[in-house]
Structures are given as C-alpha cells and as structure tokens.
Structure 1
Amino acid sequence: MTSPLPSPQAADAASSSGTANAARPLWQVFMVFLGPMLLSNILQSLSGTLNSMFLGQMMGVKALAAVAAFFPVMFVFIAFVIGLGAGASVLIGQAWGAGQPDKVRAIAGTTLLAGLVMGTCVALFGGLFTQPIMRMLGTPADILEQATVYSRIVLLGMPGLFIFLLATSLLRGVGDTLTPMWSLIVSTGIGLVSTPALIAGWGGLPRLGVASAGVSMILGFSIALSWLAIQLRRKRSVLAPNRALLRAMRPDWGLLRAVLRVGIPTGVLMIATSLAGLVVLSLINGFGSNATAAYGAVNQINAFAQFPLISVAITASILAAQSIGAGRSDRLPAIARTALQINMAIGGATAVLGSIFARPLLSIFITDPDVLHVAVELLRIVLWSGLLFGAFASLAALMRASGDVLVPTLITIGVIATLELPLAWMFSRHFGLVGIWMAFPVSYGLTLALQTWYYQAIWKKRPIRKMV
C-alpha cells in the first residue's frame, strides 16, 4: 500500500518536510509522521512541567498554586483552539490531497482570522475582568493577587498563542510535521532559559516573580512564530506568510462552518473528558492523600505512554483526509488497519515495558512503600487499557477525516457519562481504590465496540466526499 500523497504539490511538500513520498509503504509513512509529532507532544507537556518546576522550586508553593488556579480557564481556551485546528487540518488535508493550494490557503486564512478574532476578544475581555474571573473560580485570597497578575499576562497574549497553536496544526494538514516540531523546540528552549532568568533576575533582568511564567510563554511563542515564518518563506511552503496568505485571511462563512463542524465536537470532547477526570479525581481524593499521590504519579507516566497513541490517531486523520481529497477513498481501510496495527505494537510494547519497570519508574515520584505498591498496580491497569484507548481513538480520527465527527464524539461522551463514571463509583465501593481504575478498561472496551460497529455498519457504507 502506498502513501496517500498523490498530487505533485503534495509530493513536493512531503519531500521538503521530511514526510514520505508516494513510493513508501503506508506503515513507513505513519512512522515518519509519528517521530516529529510525538516529540512535539512531549515538548508541549514538558514546557508546562518545567515552568511549574521553576516556580515551585524557586518561589514556593503559593507561586505554583497561583499558576494552577488559572488552569481551568486556560484549558477551555486551548480546547477551543485544538478543536478549530483539528477541523481546519481535515479540510486542508483534503484540499492538499486534491492538489488545490489556493483552497489550502483559503482554509488556513479563514481559520487564522477566526483564531485571531477570538484571541483578541479573549485578551480584551479577560484583561479587563481578570480579577473577577479569578474570584469566580474561587481562587484562595492568599494567592488571588499573584494569580490575577499571571492570568492577565497570559490572557493578553492569547491572540499570539492562538495563531501559534493553529499554525502548527495547519502545517500537519499538508504533511509537514518537522517544522512544527522545530518551532516547539524553539519555544520550549526559550522558556527553559527565560523563566528562571526572570524569576532570579539573571544578568540584570527585572525580577518578575510569578509573572515570569506568563512573560516567558509569550516570549517563547513570539520568537517561535518569527522563526516559523522565516522557515516557511525559505521553504516556499504553501502556508508561508506572504501576500497570498494575507489575501486569504478574510471571512469565508462556508469554510468556517465546515471547520467548526469538525472543530466544535472535538473541543467539546476534550472538555467533557477533562470534566470526567475531575470527577474521578474527587473519588480518588476520598481515599486520602496517599491515593491522590499515587494518582499523580501514575498520571505522569501514563501521559507519556498515551502520546504515541494520540499521535497515531492524528496521523490516521491526516493521511485519510489527503486520500479523500485525492479521490482515493479506497485507501481508507488500509489506513485504518495500519493505524490499529501500529497502535497495538506501540501500546503493547509500552504496556509490557511499563509493567516490568513500573516500580523503578514510580519510585522517581514516590518514596512511601505503601503508596508505591498501590501505584504499581494502578499503572499496570492503565497501561494495558491504553491498547483499547488507542484503537478507538484511531477509528474516531479516521472517521473525522471525512467530516463524520458527531456520532463518534457522542459515543465517547455517552460512555463516559453513563458507564465510566458510574462504574468508577460503584467499583470503588466494592474493590477500593483499584476499582476506580477497573472502570477504564471496561468503558474503553465498550467505546471501542460501539466505534467499531458504527465504522463497519454505517460509516463504511456511506459515500465519502470532500467537505468543501
């Protein structure tokens, strides 16, 4: 099976960005995509971890709490941008596969304009009403001032952050995963240096306190955006910031509706999953601080275990969109099979290694023997559940490439609401803390069964057409 990059434009982009050309087997195309995308996901997570580490170690718990207080608001905005980027990357993948660079720019221009307008509204409204927002979130009085300072800086930087996150997502739609990876390396590197420098006042720099994290974030994505613009112009990318792209930055309500058709359900799914996580955390907290510590350590490791599985799903969506655009919907079953096989291989290897080395890995975070014993058991359940998670995520991503996102999203949210959370509560009453984790493989298994049924019985029998 060959790569679904049939057009001359797509082949040129694949060559320049390091992705596969049309002669490569499909599994090789997946692997070439996965490397840069996996590193990008790790860098995004690492950036926040490093900022938290610097604040906690150099300024204390209150500074760390002040930043954490803004996280619920930040997550909603990031979910919106990720959803918008997911919708746009599907449309761009279809246009790129069809060899329509003008349509690629039109979709990108409409999406970037929407992101810029939304980011500007957030900056103006959030900047004016930061303190009332933080009060509404119930921010403790002893960190309210610091939390307000940090939050206002981040909110004012939202227009640029939205553009940066959208740009990296749009580039993946044309098969370029290397350039976004390098831009995230630049952004993370700037933060790695500037956050402690601004906290401590290195080299005569002002000591900005908790504001250092916000300023460093803005500095990082601003420099990374400038670097990105230079690289895209040098490579003559279809998404390079030039007159053609600027002309495309105008409202196109038809394109925007198509983007939001995919983007809104994707963003809602992220928010619903996050809310479910808060419910699970409240159940865990009921077992005491040791249980919470075990949960935190398991999550740290599981987050990195899930990065490859999520990256496989994104890759499946991109390659499927390009195939649909090229009029080669016959390749979609092969893309689905390859995604599931790679997920099984990566997820299985991760689960085996994680199970074998669970104790030394968790010992990095946990020193208490009793907590460590519980965490080891929980990690093994979570890692093996990842095989089911990766499989249904890939199927949903493949169907999303055709614009069919509502039913897969409703299946996932429905299982979370009607099975996962009730089972977590019920199992916790009968099996204790381990019972909460036992609910995950059961709910993941049902989600996979329903997604597979919908894929086989309904989606595969529908004619697959381009969205625009």
Structure 2
Amino acid sequence: MNDKNISAQSVACADMPATTLPEEKRGLLGAFLLFMLPVLLDCVLQSLSGTISNIYIGHLLGAKDLAAASTFYPLLLVLVSCGVGLGTGASVLVGQKWGAGAFDQARTAVAAAISLSIVFGGAIAIFGQWGVIPMLWLFSVPTEIAGPAEAYCRIFLAGTPALVLLITVAITLRGAGDNIRPLAMMGVQILISIVATPVLIVSPLGVSGAAVTGIVGWIVSLVFVGCWLRVSQHPLAPCRAMMRELLPAPVVLRSVVRLGFPAMIEIATQGLAEVILVGRINSFGPDMTAAYGLFTQTLTYIEFPGMAVGITVSVLCSHAIGARQPGRARAVLRVGFIVGLMVTGLLASIVSFEPAWVSGLFTSDPQVMIIANHAFRAVMWSAVLLSLGGILGAAMRANGDTIPPMAIMLGCILMIELPAGYLFAKTYGAWGVWLGYTASFSSIFLASALYWLLIWRHRPLTPIG
C-alpha cells in the first residue's frame, strides 16, 4: 500500500461522521474487501508454505518423515503465540494511533513489540534445545520417527527469533493499514520454499532441510521488508529513533504487554492443548500421526480466511475507535461477520463433501487417507463456528478488551476440548479423537456470541490512553 494513500485514508477516516448511512455501509463493504483480500491471500500463502513442505516430504521421503515433521506442529503454535501476542498488543495501539494520525506514537509501539520479540525469541531458541527430548516423550512420538523428529525440532527452534520477529512485524504493519508488505514478505518465503525445499530434503539433512528452508525464508523476508520501508520513507521504517525506542518507556511497554499477553496466553494454550492431544494421537501409530498432519494443514485453509476477516475487523475497528467513530467500528464488525460466514462456510463445504480429493493432495497411502477423510467430515463444519467466534474476539481486542476472549478460549479448551478428546478417544478409539475439536470449536463460538450479545455490544468504544 502506498504510504501517501495510508496517510490520506487516516485523515479521511478522522473526518467521517460517527453514524453510518446505508450508502456508507456499501462503501464500507468495498473498503473491507479491499483490505481483506490481500490479507486473505497472505494467510493462504502462509498455509501454502507449510503445505508445500509437507507435499515434498510426503512424496519424496514418505509417510514416516511426514509424521516426524508433523510432531512439531503443536509446539509451533506455542512459538507463534509469542509473535502473535506481542504483535496483537502493539497492533491495537498502532491502529488506534494511526487512525488518530499520531504516527510517532505508533512507531514507539512497534519498537516496543520488536524488542520484546527479540527477547522472547532468543530465550526460546536457547532454552528450547534442552526441552526437545522431553517434548518428544510428552508427544509419545513413535520410536521409528524419533530421530528425524528430534533433528527437525532442534533446527526449527534455532530459528525462533526470526519467526517471532517476522510475525510481529507483519501484524504491526497491518495495524498501520499496510496489507501489501506482509503479503510480499510471504511471497518471498513461498518462493524460497518452492526452490530450496526439494533440494535440501533429498540432501543429507533429510526432513530437517524443510526447517532450514523455513529459517532462510524468514530472515530474507525481514531484510526485504526493512529495506522496502526505508526506501519508501514509511513512518514505521527502521531508523535511529526506532533504535533508541527499542528500550521502551515503561508506560508503552506496559500497554503492549497488557494488550498482547492475553493473546499470547490464549494461543499458547491452544498449542499446549494440541501437545496433549497429539500425544494421544501418536499413541495410535504413525498412520494416525501422518493423518493428523494432513488434518492440521487442511484445517488452516478453513481457519486462515476467518483469521483474515478477523484481522481486517481488528484493524478497521481500531482505526475507527482511534478516530472516535464508534458507529463505524460496530458496522465493521457486522460486515466482517457476514463475510466470514460466507467464506469459511464455502471452504468447509468443499472439504467436507470432497475429503478424498483433499487428502490425495498430500499422500497416496490408503490407510492415512481413510483416517484423514473421517477427520475432515467430523471437524470441518465446526471450524466455521470457530472462525466466527474469532471475528467477535477481534472486535473486542480492537477496543482493548483482551481478557474476555482469552477467558473464553481457556475455559473451552480446559473444560471441553481436553476432557472431550480424552473421553471420546477412550470410548471410540482413534475415530473419537476428532470429536474433541468439534465440541471445543462449537463452544468457543457460543460463549463468544453470548458475551457479545449480553455485555460487549453495550460497552462504549473509546481509544486507549
């Protein structure tokens, strides 16, 4: 997005009336889709990056190596939570300050998030190496894939600082209304993955070559976007002022942590829940583990469009709240909810009605395909409800209300997903594991909708600080 256009949009937003007329709603839908589509493409490409690696691994190496790579997915969610949490906290501040035209304050929030990302990512990279073996034991990783899984995890953990920083930068740029540079960053990663992954995984590195490719892609993308911001003289470009602000003022640091920590805990809890469930899944053998890898990859194609809508809702709502336009912020949520229902509903229908075609993209192993097809039919429709609950939570966070979405997620995971997954697996065996997801996704939506209906929609929408 052109920087002058960003500034012009912010000024125009500040001059809009608080109420939203029917004509403005039609204009809002166009603006919503215009911002959402690059974000959606970014999310799809993000998932495609992992899909490309899994396709290469599954067809060039085999089901056991695919299972080895799949064991890292729950821990990846925990790592990503650090970047998403920090980025979310900063993004809310950046969005509101950007909507108000306070670009220097937006840069200060970004610098605080970057410094925290470096610290968290570095700590995980260092201390995570000691936790690989206990993690594999906790996951109940089958003996025949333990060696490749360990090597893959160690290399991936070493690149955590770049991953966390990459996620933080992308989210905060979107908070400033820039949906093009994050998309370009993902394009760079995809290009590197397509070219380098098949070369490295057939080398002595084996399945670990996919992890090396990922790290190279993250680093190159960060360098690329930093240079682009500098050349275009973007207000959030790396500069001496931002370098000084990497030691953030306590008030800024507290704001970023207060807004970002609940999101970090929320996503980390999802990852820890996956750790527990994947241990149960791995106990049913390598075929079940490989099917889990197909399931998680496919699920992202349902979740990411909903995430794109949620990101758009969060950014546009925070801009409207920063510009003191609560009516427009509520209209953004209404548009986002309808768009999210249509997009995720369509994709879930495709996967549910044609599961064999989807699983056949990843593997030709008939037993793995049978297990994956059952998972698709059991879970994918409820992923629509999960996405809608996430859209409601995105609007809440844009107003600085981060605790309720976190509490809803934690409650549903601890009281529904984990107990249900365990009981269904114990009662029905491997087929019952997937029902825990369905119960959890449905309850998250119901709890979010009730909170919005009874409490949040009656609250005032005011800028932070």
Alignment match, 1:87: 89
Measured in 2, the distance between the counterparts of 1:315 and 1:145 equals 41
User: Take 2:123 and 2:266, find their aligned partners in 1: how far apart are those partners?
Assistant: 23
- Which of 435, 443, 446 is the equivalent residue of 1:446? 443
Which residue among 387, 392, 395 is the counterpart of 2:392?
A: 395
Q: Contact conserved, 1:8 with 1:99, CA < 8 A, in 2?
A: no
Structure 2 residue 107 is the aligned partner of structure 1 residue 105: yes
Q: What letter corresponds to residue 132 of structure 2 in structure 1? A: M
Alignment of 1:26 with 2:28, yes or no, is: yes
1:357–1:319 CA distance, 2 compared to 1 (3 A) = same
For 2:428 and 2:75, the matched residues in 1 are separated by: 35
Q: By how many angstroms is 1:71 displaced?
A: 5.5
**Cα deviation per residue 1:336-376 (whole Å; 9 max; x = unaligned)?**
21111112211222233333323333344565778756654
* Aligned-partner Cα distance in 2 for 1:368–1:200: 20
CA distance in 2, matches of 1:70, 1:384: 25
1:350 aligns with 2:342: no
Q: Is the 8 A contact 1:87 1:261 kept in 2?
A: yes
In 2, distance between residues paired with 1:380 and 1:73?
25
Displacement of 1:74 after TM fit? 4.6
Output the CA distance in 1 between the equivalents of 2:122 and 2:380. Answer: 40
Is residue 417 from structure 1 mapped to residue 414 from structure 2 by the alignment? Answer: yes
User: d(CA) in 2 for partners of 1:119 and 1:153?
Assistant: 14
> Could you say what the CA RMSD is over the residues aligned between the two structures, in angstroms?
3.6
Q: CA 1:48 to 1:135, structure 2 compared with 1: closer, same or farther past 3 Å?
A: same
CA distance in 1, matches of 2:313, 2:242: 27
In structure 1, distance between residues paired with 2:278 and 2:207: 27
**How much does 1:326 deviate?**
0.7
Q: CA shift at 1:430, angstroms?
A: 6.0
User: Structure 2: which amino acid aligns with 1:162?
Assistant: V
1:169 maps to 171
Alignment of 1:240-259 (within 5 A): 240-259=237-256
**Aligned residues of 2:317 and 2:330 also touching (Cα < 8 A):** no
Mapped to 2, the partners of 1:150 and 1:288 lie a distance apart of 19
Question: Deviation digits for residues 288-313 of structure 1, max 9, x if unmatched?
Answer: 66655554444332221221112111
Bigger drift between 354-363 and 291-300 goes to 291-300
Aligned position for 1:10 = 10
Following TM superposition, by how much is the alpha carbon of 1:263 offset from its aligned partner in structure 2, in angstroms? 1.6
Q: In structure 2, do the counterparts of structure 1 residues 26 and 83 end up closer, same or farther at CA, with 3 Å as the change threshold?
A: same
C-alpha distance in structure 2 between counterparts of 1:144 and 1:434, whole Å: 24
Q: Distance in 2 between matches of 1:148 and 1:289?
A: 16
Instruction: State the AA in 2 paired with 1:396.
Output: G
**Amino acid corresponding to residue 106 of structure 1 in structure 2:** T
Unaligned 5+ segments in structure 1 are 14-21, 202-206
Q: Which residue type is aligned with residue 315 of structure 2?
A: I
Give the equivalent residue in structure 1 for 2:48: 46
Alignment partners' CA distance in 1, 2:290 and 2:158? 34
**C-alpha distance in 2 between matches for 1:322 and 1:135:** 45
1:220 CA drift (Å) = 2.1
Query: Is residue 34–residue 308 contact of structure 1 (8 Å, CA) maintained in 2?
Result: no
Give aligned-pair identity as a percent: 34
In structure 2, what residue type is equivalent to 1:10? S
Does structure 2 conserve the Cα–Cα contact (< 8 Å) formed by 1:382 and 1:437? yes
Larger displacement relative to structure 2 (146-155 or 188-197): 146-155
Q: Matched residues in 2 for 1:145 and 1:444: separation?
A: 34
Give the aligned partner of residue 309 of structure 2. Answer: 312
CA distance in 1, matches of 2:207, 2:429: 39
TM-score (norm. length: structure 1): 0.81
CA contact (8 A) 2:409 2:444 kept: yes
CA spacing shift, 1:428–1:185, aligned 2, 3 Å: same
Equivalent AA in structure 1 for residue 247 of structure 2: R
Greater CA drift, 238-247 or 256-265? 238-247
CA contact (8 A) 2:10 2:101 kept: yes
Q: 1:352 to 1:63 in 2, by over 3 A?
A: closer
**1:100-139 C-alpha deviation (Å, 9 max, x unpaired):** 101111111111122223334445x34xx83x43333357
Post-superposition Cα deviations, 1:163-203, rounded to whole Å, max 9, x if no partner, equal 322211111001111111111111221233234445567xx
Give the Cα–Cα distance (whole angstroms) in 1 for the partners of residues 328 and 75 of structure 2. Answer: 40
Amino acid at match of 1:179: R
Shift of 1:287: 6.2
> Structure 2: which 5+ runs fail to align?
14-23
Q: Is the 8 A contact 1:388 1:441 kept in 2?
A: no
Take 1:327 and 1:338, find their aligned partners in 2: how far apart are those partners? 19
3-state SS of the aligned residue for 2:408? Answer: helix
**2:19 alignment counterpart:** none
Q: Deviation per CA, 1:264-321, whole angstroms, max 9, x where unpaired? A: 2212221222233344445556666665555444433222122111211121111111
The correspondence of residues 203-222 of structure 1 with structure 2, limited to 5 A, is 212-222=209-219
After alignment, is 323-332 or 267-276 more displaced? Answer: 267-276
- The answer to whether the Cα contact below 8 Å between 2:55 and 2:361 also exists between their aligned partners in 1 is no
Corresponding residue for residue 137 of structure 1: 135
| 1:192 partnered with 2:189 | no
| SS of aligned partner of 1:25 | helix
Partners of 2:156 and 2:295 in 1: how far apart? 29
Point out which structure has higher relative CO (alpha carbons under 8 A, 6+ apart): 2
The alpha carbon displacement at 1:230 in A equals 2.5
Which residue pairs with 1:116 in the alignment? 118
User: TM-score, normalised to structure 2's length?
Assistant: 0.82
Larger mean CA deviation between 230-239 and 275-284 belongs to 275-284
Structure 1 residue 234 and structure 2 residue 231: aligned? Answer: yes
CA distance, structure 2, for counterparts of residue 44 and residue 381 of structure 1 = 25
SS in 2 for 1:453: helix
Question: Which has the higher mean CA deviation after the structures are superposed, 58-67 or 256-265?
Answer: 58-67
Q: In terms of mean alpha carbon deviation, does 448-457 or 362-371 score higher?
A: 362-371
Equivalent residue, structure 2, for 1:321: 318
1:275 counterpart letter in structure 2:
L
Post-superposition offset of 1:386:
2.3
The answer (yes or no) to whether the contact 2:75–2:272 under 8 Å persists in 1 is: no
Q: Distance in 1 between matches of 2:262 and 2:351?
A: 33
Number of aligned residues: 447
Q: Deviations over 1:416-465 (max 9, x none)?
A: 22223333444456666555444544443333232222223222333332
Distance verdict in 2 for CA 1:120–1:437, change over 3 Å: closer
What corresponds to 1:407 in structure 2? 404
Relative to structure 1, the CA distance from residue 161 to residue 381 in structure 2 (aligned partners, 3 Å threshold; closer, same or farther) is closer
| Greater mean deviation of Cα atoms: 62-71 or 187-196 | 62-71
